[in-house]
């Protein structure tokens, strides 16, 4: 059994290690950078670099890397050795402050949306001291931002850090209205990561899984999730061994892996950490995803993080638990009497305004080829953004809007009717799994992100939109004091909730009635990525980002181009794989099986002409009809796929992929899947869902 306190954070250059290894003055100066946002002095960096190197070498590290998040959505690293050869043929191990705070990776081969030409190679990485350095595979990894030679952000981290600065500044203006001193305000995130584990043996037999991360074909298993027995069920020994190794690795890296369990779908699981500051939480989530993928092979498994690897069962999300902290206070904690907690009501009204004003932009942050298969599929929230507040807060909001007095919800004691079982207090609100943005006690759970996503985009938009709401409140309230301030603040909250009441919905987000009601309310319903992305470059979105210095118009447009290009490339890859599998696996296999039936009929008739072969002939007719339909579907798919390749405009191509090609892909899949249950297992070219999802 692991000694958790001993291994936890053992591979992290955290504050505990810093305090032990840094001179007192250096430590104090570094803490001011970490906790108060003061600039980092090069002399301090030199001392930190030396201590960091000595610690890393003691832990077995031989190299260091600036670990960053390019616009690919994953992480990147280039390893440099500490080794420094000397003239006498010996070597020393060196690492300077300059090497710590700045790196220079080649920027030309990363997505830039036209910011950088191929021949313009120079880029820079800059140390993010607020996210701890760590050791991974004998390499000291230093979390960094990544920018171009001309200063534009080429990564996911830089806009996130800028948005965190914006919310810190605007939240402090609001807190000052309440007479509170200046303090560090930050957003916190807890990322619940869902994933699938399947056997390597089955994985290696499926080209679609290998190249796209999802099954492009596959008939539903005989038993899926309908018995509801997998959710929170006993964890299989092989999976448990994987989870134990994963826990050990993550704990050593200071990742607060807290909860693990089986999810709803067969072969699906979840890991949830304790929350951390947003930038560090996202770094740790990306590290968690990487470790999941790498460690699975130690146990003969493959970790799938695609949002929808299997049709007909639940896909995988990544719930983003978001809150705002000021020192040790949670600004989204309603307290015992939320109706009297003016500061909380202000924060709540600002959240409601932010989500309503920028609903389409928030929807855009979770748009991807994979997540399109998941959103609104009765397993995840719909593509319509709304807020769930729960009974108590909804009643408070209704009372504020109507001007009536709120009596308060009586606390209810839960009595299960068995003497030996303890009584306990019932929560003031239920959970709503159909809501995209749900209040869960002292935070909001943004349920729309997909499992494969980097959460930086979502949190950048959440933070920036919230900063905008906070700024408007501060602009209106600064200069008011005492009863005048309280009266004006309550009036502001009331009017804000009236103006943005349409975004609040506590009902069933899966119902057809909600889709109709949302349309009446004027809420957006962008069902796919091609429809969701254009709002990113709307004047309203660009103005928001520029107002708070989070993204320039150039940076916004480059990211829009990157997202469009990635979407088009992913669908193009899926179409190519589908065509290849149809042509080289499914059509030959189905044709060969049809020939076997025909040969069997001929053999029977030749041996005994009097015997009936009606059954075989009917079966052959069905198979042949399906074969012809599959070939026709392939031809239609191929023609459309090749036609889209000639479209030069990226948005036009994305529209064609979403609205014209994907329906043809779905039609081709339907034809093949219908034949899967008619062709013997031995004749079928790939493992079935029954075999893949229910491995031993």
Q: Which residue in the block uniquely carries the two structure tokens 């979390």?
A: 143
CB 603 within 8 A of CB 613: no
Strands 133-136 and 139-148: antiparallel
Specify the pLDDT at position 521: 96
pLDDT exceeds 60 at position 355: yes
With a cut of 80, say whether residue 408 has pLDDT above it: no
Alpha-carbon distance 654 to 640, whole Å?
A: 13
Is the torsion defined by CA of 532, 534, 540, 545 positive or negative?
Answer: positive
Give the pLDDT band (50/70/90) at residue 231. confident
Would you state the pLDDT for residue 34? Answer: 83
The set of residues, in sequence order, having a beta carbon less than 8 Å from that of 32 and lying 6+ positions away, is 38
Q: Among residues 336, 290, 530, 534, which one has the least CA distance to residue 442? A: 336
Phi then psi dihedrals of residue 77, to 5 deg: -155, 140
State CA 397 to chain mean position distance.
Answer: 30
Measure the CA–CA gap between 215 and 202, rounded to whole angstroms.
12
The pLDDT score that the predictor gives to residue 402 is: 79
Percent of the chain with pLDDT over 90: 73
Q: Which of 17-21, 39-43, 400-404, 653-657 has the lowest mean pLDDT?
A: 400-404
* Nearest in space to 316 (alpha carbons), one of 251, 377, 244: 377
What percent of the chain stands above pLDDT 70?
94
DSSP-derived secondary structure letter, 582: I
DSSP state letter for 502: G
Q: What three-state secondary structure class fits 345?
A: helix
The pairing of strands 387-388 and 437-439 is parallel
Q: What is the dihedral of CA 552, 556, 561, 565, to 10 degrees?
A: 130
pLDDT recorded at residue 431 = 57
Which position has the token pair 């420094």?
A: 84
When pLDDT is cut at 50, 70 and 90, the band that residue 646 belongs to is: very high
**Separation CA 229–CA 342 (nearest Å):** 45
> 123-127 and 133-136 as β-strands: parallel, antiparallel, unpaired?
unpaired
Residue 415: predicted pLDDT: 57
CA 632 to chain centre: 37
Residue 424: pLDDT band with limits 50, 70, 90 = very low
Helix axes 553-581, 539-547, angle to 10 degrees: 120
Alpha-carbon torsion (102, 103, 104, 109), positive or negative: negative
DSSP per-residue letters across 325-341? EETTEETT---S-GGG-
Arithmetic mean of pLDDT, 201-224: 94
**CA distance between the termini of the chain:** 25
Strand ranges (E), 332-486: 387-388, 413-414, 424-425, 437-439, 444-446
- Using a CB cutoff of 8 Å and minimum separation of 24, what contacts does 179-182 make? 180/326
Quote the CA–CA distance of 101 and 327 in Å, as a whole number. 27
318-326 vs 413-414, strand pairing mode: unpaired
pLDDT attached to residue 107: 67
Mean pLDDT computed over 437-459: 95
Q: Do the Cβ atoms of 113 and 557 come closer than 8 Å?
A: yes
Mean pLDDT is lowest, of 107-121, 332-346, 604-618, for 107-121
Please state the rounded mean pLDDT for residues 462-483.
96
Arithmetic mean of pLDDT, 124-147: 92
- For the stretch 27-35, contacts whose Cβ atoms lie closer than 8 Å and that sit 24 or more positions apart, written own/partner, are 30/129, 33/129, 33/130, 34/129, 34/130, 35/184
Which among 129, 130, 123 has a CA at the least distance from the CA of 108?
Answer: 123
Q: Is the dihedral of CA 638, 642, 644, 645 positive or negative?
A: positive
User: Is 572 in contact with 566 (CB distance < 8 Å)?
Assistant: no
Nearest to 627 by CA among 598, 651, 649: 598
pLDDT the model gives residue 414: 53
Q: For residues 528 and 364, is the Cβ–Cβ distance under 8 A?
A: no
pLDDT bucket at 428, cuts 50 / 70 / 90: low
Closest CA to 308 of 669, 34, 677: 669
Q: Does residue 487 register a pLDDT over 60?
A: yes
Question: For the residues 666-686, what does the mean pLDDT come to?
Answer: 96
Which tens digits make up the pLDDT trace of 518-537? 999 999 999 999 999 999 99
**Residue with the two structure tokens 């920027």:** 107
- Given a contact cutoff of 8 angstroms between Cβ atoms, the answer to whether 185 and 170 are in contact is no
Integer Cα distance of 281 and 294 in angstroms: 20
Q: Are 163 and 250 in contact (CB under 8 A)?
A: no
Closest to 451 in 3D by CA, of 366, 376, 572, 388: 366
In the predicted structure, residue 350 carries a pLDDT above the cut 50: yes
How far apart are alpha carbons 558 and 113 in whole angstroms? 4
Q: 325-330: which pairs have CB atoms within 8 A and are 24 or more residues apart? A: 325/185, 325/186, 325/187, 325/188, 326/171, 326/175, 326/180, 326/183, 326/184, 326/185, 327/183, 327/184, 330/442, 330/443
DSSP 283-295: HHHHHHHHHHHHH
More confident residue, 463 or 71: 463
Mean of the per-residue pLDDT values of the chain:
91
- The rounded distance, in Å, linking the Cα atoms of 356 and 179 is 29
């Amino acid at each position: 059994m692991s000694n958790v306190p001993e291994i936890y954070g053992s591979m992290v250059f955290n504050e505990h290690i810093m305090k032990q290894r840094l001179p007192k003055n250096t430590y104090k100066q570094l803490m001011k950078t970490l906790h108060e946002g003061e600039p980092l002095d090069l002399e301090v960096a030199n001392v930190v670099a030396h201590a960091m190197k000595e610690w890393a070498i003691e832990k077995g590290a031989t190299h260091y890397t600036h670990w960053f998040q390019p616009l690919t959505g994953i992480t990147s690293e280039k390893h440099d050795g500490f080794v420094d050869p000397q003239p006498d043929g010996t070597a020393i191990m060196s690492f300077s402050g300059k090497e710590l705070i700045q790196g220079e990776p080649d920027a030309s081969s990363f997505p830039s949306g036209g910011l950088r030409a191929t021949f313009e190679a120079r880029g820079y990485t800059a140390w993010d001291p607020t996210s701890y350095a760590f050791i991974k595979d004998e390499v000291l990894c230093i979390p960094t931002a990544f920018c171009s030679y001309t200063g534009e952000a080429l990564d996911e981290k830089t806009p996130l850090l800028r948005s965190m600065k914006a919310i810190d500044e605007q939240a402090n203006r609001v807190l000052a209205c309440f007479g509170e001193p200046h303090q560090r305000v930050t957003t916190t995130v807890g990322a619940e990561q869902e994933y699938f584990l399947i056997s390597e043996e089955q994985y290696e037999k499926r080209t679609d899984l290998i190249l796209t991360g999802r099954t492009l074909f596959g008939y539903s298993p005989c038993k899926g999730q309908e018995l509801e027995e997998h959710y929170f069920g006993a964890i299989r020994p092989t999976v448990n061994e994987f989870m134990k190794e994963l826990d050990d690795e993550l704990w050593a890296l200071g990742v607060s892996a807290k909860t693990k369990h089986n999810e709803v779908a067969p072969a699906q699981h979840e890991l949830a950490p304790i929350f951390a500051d947003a930038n560090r939480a996202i770094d740790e989530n990306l590290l968690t995803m990487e470790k999941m993928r790498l460690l699975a092979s130690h146990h003969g498994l493959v970790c799938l993080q695609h949002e929808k690897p299997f049709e007909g069962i639940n896909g995988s999300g990544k719930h983003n638990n978001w809150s705002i902290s000021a020192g040790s206070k949670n600004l989204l904690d309603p307290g015992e009497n939320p109706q009297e907690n003016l500061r909380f009501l202000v924060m709540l009204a600002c959240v409601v305004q932010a989500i309503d004003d920028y609903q389409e932009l928030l929807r855009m942050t979770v748009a991807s080829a994979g997540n399109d298969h998941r959103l609104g599929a009765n397993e995840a929230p719909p593509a319509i953004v709304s807020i769930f507040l729960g009974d108590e807060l909804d009643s408070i909001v209704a009372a504020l809007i109507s001007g009536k007095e709120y009596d308060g919800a009586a606390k209810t004691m839960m009595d299960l009717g068995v003497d030996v079982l303890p009584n306990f207090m019932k929560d003031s609100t239920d959970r709503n799994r159909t809501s995209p943005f749900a209040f869960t006690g002292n935070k909001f759970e943004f349920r729309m992100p997909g499992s494969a996503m980097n959460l930086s985009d979502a949190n950048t938009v959440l933070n920036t939109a919230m900063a905008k709401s906070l700024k408007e409140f501060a602009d209106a309230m600064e200069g008011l004091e005492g009863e005048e301030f309280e009266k004006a603040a309550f009036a502001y909250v009331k009017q804000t909730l009236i103006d943005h009441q349409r975004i609040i919905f506590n009902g069933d987000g899966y119902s057809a009635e909600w889709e109709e009601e949302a349309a009446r309310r004027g809420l957006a319903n962008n069902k796919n990525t091609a429809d969701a992305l254009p709002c990113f470059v709307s004047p309203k979105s660009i103005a928001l980002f520029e107002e708070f210095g989070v993204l320039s118009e150039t940076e916004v447009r480059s990211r829009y181009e990157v997202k469009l290009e990635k979407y088009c490339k992913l669908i193009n890859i899926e179409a190519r794989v589908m065509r290849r599998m149809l042509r080289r696996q499914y059509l030959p296999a189905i044709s060969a099986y049809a020939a076997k039936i025909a040969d069997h009929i001929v053999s029977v008739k030749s041996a005994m002409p009097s015997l009936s072969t009606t059954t075989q002939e009917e079966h052959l007719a069905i198979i042949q009809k399906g074969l012809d339909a599959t070939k026709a579907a392939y031809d239609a798919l191929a023609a459309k796929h090749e036609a889209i390749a000639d479209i030069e405009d990226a948005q036009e191509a994305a529209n064609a992929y979403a609205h014209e090609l994907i329906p043809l892909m779905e039609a081709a899949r339907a034809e093949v899947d219908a034949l899967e249950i008619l062709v013997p297992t031995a004749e079928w070219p790939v493992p079935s869902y029954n075999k893949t999802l229910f491995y031993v």
